[in-house]
Structure 1
Amino acid sequence: MSAQGGTKAIIAALLANVGIAVTKFVAYLLTSSSSMLAESVHSVADSGNQALLLLGGKRARRAATPQHPFGYGRERYVYAFIVSIVLFSLGGLFALYEAWHKWSDPHGITSWQWVPVTVLLAAIVMESFSLRTAIRESNLVRGRESWTRFIRRSKAPELPVVLLEDFGALVGLVFALFGVGMTLATGDGRWDAAGTAMIGLLLVAIAIVLAVETKSLLLGEGAEPADVAAIERAVADGPEVERIIHMKTLYLGPEELMVAAKIAVSQCESAEEVARGIDAVEARIRAAVPVARVIYLEPDIYHARAEPSAAPGQPGG
């Protein structure tokens, strides 16, 4: 995934959310609408999240050190995980609390009634442009994958995070418009509370999805099956290797894959021939899967082992 494309989507979302947060908060001060307050905090949280993603991307570009010999690529995962926590606590839980508070003390919107509707409609337009940017940048790297698979399988966290945040923001604005509209129509502030609760539940759900997916990246994920197959073909596509004895892959960062394999070589080869063969195999792997930047190949002699016989009374395999 292009880091440049992710950064472009993050900046577009950040600019939109800062402007939206200010207008929502002004609308809340004028109307005391809980939906507007929840949406204001939501936009502030989103703005902070996008700043965190930009910070994570910058810190991930630091050079490797003796203490961190594989570099800092995973910092992008760390900051994406922090984003999910901020979205859950500052966005979702605050909205649910505000909904409970408003339900306990409902009051209608009696002044500046046109302000929240105008602000929400304008925010929907701005969020739509931000979401369109995220979709356009994601389509450049998504290929034929479904959106669900793209979000679940992407090794770079920025675009999936921005996509989910923008989508959640757009749906949340619709919920807020519903709550405010019904409150204006009926004079019953509990509709405002209901819209706020819907926003809170939506943000909590999105935060949980982000936390689960980012946790998997933090723990360490291997290459996708298609990339594993491409690496195996690259290893076998030459006379240097008789077979792969075993192989493991691990993403050190969104754009850096480590490949470690034990390969069988001929017993007749000299050390110089083995070294040249390993160099050739590494070149083929990098050509097949460009993100495979860290490669460790261990030459060995393969000895076929007889399959264990079945235990008495057990059917043979």
Structure 2
Amino acid sequence: MAKPAERESTIVILAALAANLGIAVAKFVAAAISGSSAMLTEGIHSLVDSGNQVLLLWGQHRARRPADAEHPFGYGRELYFWSFVVAIMIFAVGAIVSAYEGWRHIVEPEPLLDPTINYIVLAVAFALEGTSWALAVRAFGRSKGDLGWWTAVKRSKDPGGFIVLFEDSAALAGLLIAAAGVWASHHWQDARFDGVASILIGLVLGLVAILLARESKGLLIGERADPAVIARIRAIVSAEPRVTGVNHVRTIHTGPASVFVAVSADFDDALTMGEAETLIEGLEARLKAAEPSLASIYIRPEKREHADLVVEHARKP
């Protein structure tokens, strides 16, 4: 069953999907009537965004599958894979096609037609995209807490939220550029301005794609848990009287709300094997109660000097 944060992320994606499908149809109709390159580019942009939202929904569905013998830590990181695919789609289909269409219309500008339909569609699209963007901003604003927006994006482990936010922001920018291109083309009676607008939209999409690819790559490779979570884990283990020291706490996200943690701790030498096992079970229960996101917990009794040797050996080239 999806958690509240996951349900909210799904609602944001569905809202963006509904808006983009409707907008794409309207833009293509307007482009066919007016012959506007920027409108055609915007239609492709909305269609790509719709496909991206479908991929994110598919990734969320696949990521919720339970762990099995082949994937003992679950399938949570499959969402990160599909997020990376979305970034590639934005670049390969959105940015490159937009830039190509713009260049084609600069080389072979089409005759100018009545722009009224373009302005009507752009206004409706801006209202729909703005609604979707507002939902994405509100949802991400709640999840980020006191963090700054860019810091929150870099620390976020749920790409669904910030991808829609980035896409909608790029869409609003693209609509403004498209409107400026249509206006400039008619004001100066030069259809090439429409092509320039398409290229600028392609550049915006390319920048967004690069940013999303960078963030998705980090999640796909594996990122640590929030430093505050790591600090709480260390504090709980250190508070146990029979633990004489915590050597290291290593974490990795196996999904947006799923963390694997490995703790190396120096136990009291007087403990027997059975007592150590009971102590570890108790620590695991306390850690799970304090941090429900800890899906897998591994606590290893290890002398500090041995742990230091392992770390030193790992640092050598």
TM-score, scaled relative to structure 1: 0.93
User: CA–CA distance in 2 between the matches of 1:303 and 1:135?
Assistant: 48
Number of aligned residue pairs? 306
Structure with more of its chain in helix, by fraction: 2
2:42 maps to which of 18, 39, 44: 39
Cα-to-partner distance string for 1:220-245 (whole Å, 9 max, x where unaligned):
11112222111111111221311112
SS of 1:248 mapped into structure 2: strand
Match of 2:26 among 18, 23, 26: 23
Separation in 1, partners of 2:158, 2:216: 10
Following TM superposition, by how much is the alpha carbon of 1:283 offset from its aligned partner in structure 2, in angstroms?
2.4
1:53 is aligned to 56
> 141-150 or 16-25: which moved more?
141-150
Q: Which runs of 5+ in 2 are unaligned?
A: 310-317
* 1:174-189 equivalence runs, <5 A: 174-189=176-191
Following superposition, the deviation at residue 109 of structure 1 comes to 2.3
Gaps of 5+ in 1: 308-317
Give the CA RMSD over aligned residues: 1.7
For residue 99 of structure 1, what is the aligned residue in structure 2? 102
Equivalent position to 1:273, from 263, 272, 275: 275
Q: Deviations over 1:211-268 (max 9, x none)?
A: 0110011111111222211111111122131111223111111111011112111111
Closer/same/farther in 2, CA of residues 91 and 305 from structure 1, 3 Å limit: closer
Q: Does 1:295 align with 2:297?
A: yes
How far residue 107 of structure 1 moved from its aligned partner, in angstroms, is 3.1
Deviations 1:81-101 (A, max 9, x none): 000000001100000001100
Partner residue in 2 for 1:312: none
Distance 1:26 1:244, change over 3 A: same
State the Cα distance separating 1:305 from its structure 2 match. Answer: 10
**CA, structure 1 residues 303+210, in 2 after alignment: closer, same or farther (shift >3 Å)?**
closer
SS in 2 for 1:80: helix
Cα distance, 1:303–1:204 mapped onto 2, change above 3 Å: closer
Q: Distance in 2 between matches of 1:72 and 1:217?
A: 13
Q: Offset at 1:304? A: 8.8
SS of 1:246's partner is strand
CA distance in 2 between partners of 1:235 and 1:162 (Å): 38
Offset of residue 108 of structure 1: 4.2
Is contact 2:247–2:307 with CA below 8 Å preserved after alignment? no
% identical equivalent positions: 39
1:194 to 193, 196, 203: 196
Indicate how the Cα distance of structure 1 residues 86 and 239 shifts in structure 2: closer, same or farther if over 3 A, else same: same
Equivalence for 1:313: none
The letter of the residue matching 2:160 is E
Q: Give me the whole-angstrom Cα distance separating, in 2, the residues matched to 1:108 and 1:264.
A: 78
